[in-house]
Structure 1
Amino acid sequence: MTNERRVLVHPDKQALTGSVAARFLTKTVDILDDLGEANVALTGGTVGIAVLEAVNSSPARDSVDWSKVHFWWGDERFVAKDSEERNERQAREALLDHIAVPPENIHPFPASDEIADIDEAAAVYAAELEAFASDGARHPRFDITFLGVGPDGHIASLFPDRAGIRETEATVIAERDAPKPPPQRLSLTRPVLNASDRIWLVLAGADKASALGLALAGASYTEVPVAGAKGRKRTVFFVDKDAAVDVPENLIAPSY
């Protein structure tokens, strides 16, 4: 399969999240048939969590053997374990607490009340990634990585013109001064994200249109981080009509 970028446009947010959920369930079954296990990196944000809620409410939810799926996160807010701001807590409430996934298959970033030092927390997650890697790699093979996109074009907690988006050696970075609250965050780096077989970017709303248009027009990834998101096999932008207004017509897939 060649590396390609596609944009799939949906009429509204509900259609968007339902479509992504259905495709995720189908693709995960296919991956498990082919490989025997799957590694999925989750994202937070309103739309990212809405996708997980749609997975949970799907009649096909239990067609997946969740015991063979490992869940990771692309980034996390460095706050207390029980904070409502944590991507982990939101994902658990939306989906993970409702499916038969073994606790050891869920790999959250450390919380600030578990490891107080953010650099140590980053090192601990890097070690967790390496522990589940194979063939001398530093992280597992991610089959599907979900990413949201900020109005400024950020992905995970890699922000425009910050050191994190330029990092190429570390697998995990500590962001101390994010331009949106909370300021302290942990994030996978761009090389780790781009080692994923499939990157699925899910975004909705007119405030995302400019960043999406710039990314697809070839903007610098240091200035518009989403421009640098490229999965090994496929990169798919799942968007609603409002977010697609600046997308070149030739990049929009008619259907899937």
Structure 2
Amino acid sequence: MAHKKSKPTILKFDSEEDVAVALAKYTADLSEKYIRDKGSFSVVLSGGTLIDTLRKMVEPPYKDSVDWSKWLIFWVDERVVPLDSDDSNYKLACDGFLLKVPIPSGNIYAINDKLSPDGAANDYEARLKHLVESKIIPISDASGFPKFDLMLLGMGPDGHVASLFPTHQQRYEKKRWVTFITDSPKPPPPRITFTFPVINSSSEIAMVVTGADLANTVKIALGGGLEPGSTPLPCMEVSPEGGLTWFLDKDAASKL
């Protein structure tokens, strides 16, 4: 069942530092709301520069005021490498964020790094299904896919989000919750990734985009810069059931 596409909120800031400040307040406010309403807060992280932009969360006042014990952490995509590899999104998140706040280790859902890409995707999907069956993660009434509270996404200059790339078929997957890719155009090539039905079942999505190298892509995604007849960028397919908020610094928004 298709949901009605909601209009995104586009926030523009003078600097990446201002984006980081605003993102922390936004995330902390949602944390308070969801913990009050349902007793937990499920957060889906991505890689790239996002973890650095979350840095204000591990500083006062948020470090001490957020109820970290109720957070559940997932990854929208992950490189199929050892968890202690510098290529791992898990390691990136641990070093920059997760080890600095008291989220219980049992609430952090990393991939099984001992499996093949296909096996790791199947395993991650099976674990999500178990959390749904256990009533820890709800199912979207509209889509039938798991409904996370907050998904924090970045995008690449080619418009990819998660590991859903413009010319790869995984972006069109409609049945699986988690799929895999063995030929990512960005190294390392083997990855697992949430599919768009899962991404778009989220209650809230923050698209966090900073830097002049992304200005053209932002223009295409938000400013109608797509050439007639060309394939929409993956980032243009992000359309959650709830709210979509773009956090842009001045450089990323410079061509809007």
CA gap of 1:159–1:81, structure 2 versus 1, over 3 A, is same
Q: Distance in 2 between matches of 1:221 and 1:157?
A: 20
CA gap of 1:22–1:136, structure 2 versus 1, over 3 A, is closer
How big is each residue's C-alpha offset from its partner over 1:118-158, in whole Å with a ceiling of 9 and x where there is no partner?
11111000001111114677754211000001000000000
How big is each residue's C-alpha offset from its partner over 1:153-201, in whole Å with a ceiling of 9 and x where there is no partner?
0000000021111111111111111111111111000110000011100
Match of 1:41 in 2: 44
CA gap of 1:4–1:223, structure 2 versus 1, over 3 A, is closer
Match of 1:186 among 187, 192, 207: 192
The answer on whether the counterparts of 2:23 and 2:54 sit within 8 Å (CA) in structure 1 is no
SS in 1 for 2:54: helix
Q: Distance in 2 between matches of 1:141 and 1:168?
A: 15
The answer on whether the counterparts of 1:25 and 1:61 sit within 8 Å (CA) in structure 2 is no
SS in 2 for 1:245: coil
The answer on whether the counterparts of 1:129 and 1:139 sit within 8 Å (CA) in structure 2 is no
How big is each residue's C-alpha offset from its partner over 1:177-233, in whole Å with a ceiling of 9 and x where there is no partner?
111111111100011000001110001111111111111245599541000001111
Match of 1:253 in 2: none
Q: Distance in 2 between matches of 1:71 and 1:204?
A: 23
* Cα offset, 1:21, TM superposition: 1.2
Match of 2:87 in 1: 85
Is structure 2 residue 181 aligned with structure 1 residue 175?
A: yes
Question: How many percent identity over aligned positions?
Answer: 35
CA gap of 1:217–1:168, structure 2 versus 1, over 3 A, is farther
The answer on whether the counterparts of 2:139 and 2:147 sit within 8 Å (CA) in structure 1 is no
What residue ranges of structure 2 are gaps of 5+ in the alignment?
A: none
* Cα offset, 1:99, TM superposition: 1.7
The answer on whether the counterparts of 2:150 and 2:202 sit within 8 Å (CA) in structure 1 is yes
Deviating more after overlay: 93-102 vs 170-179: 93-102
5 Å-filtered alignment, 1:63-102, equals 63-102=65-104
Match of 1:121 in 2: 120
SS in 2 for 1:45: coil
CA gap of 1:17–1:108, structure 2 versus 1, over 3 A, is same
Q: Distance in 1 between matches of 2:146 and 2:67?
A: 19
Q: Distance in 2 between matches of 1:53 and 1:86?
A: 18
Corresponding residue pairs, total: 243
Cα RMSD of the aligned pairs, angstroms, is 2.0
CA gap of 1:139–1:107, structure 2 versus 1, over 3 A, is farther
* Cα offset, 1:3, TM superposition: 2.8
Q: Distance in 2 between matches of 1:97 and 1:241?
A: 31
TM-score between both structures, scaled by the size of structure 2: 0.89
* Cα offset, 1:109, TM superposition: 1.9
TM-score between both structures, scaled by the size of structure 1: 0.89
5 Å-filtered alignment, 1:1-256, equals 3-46=6-49, 48-111=50-113, 114-115=114-115, 117-133=116-132, 134=135, 140-217=146-223, 219=226, 223-247=232-256
SS in 1 for 2:248: strand
Q: Distance in 1 between matches of 2:106 and 2:145?
A: 17
Match of 1:251 in 2: none
Q: Distance in 2 between matches of 1:108 and 1:222?
A: 33
CA gap of 1:37–1:122, structure 2 versus 1, over 3 A, is same
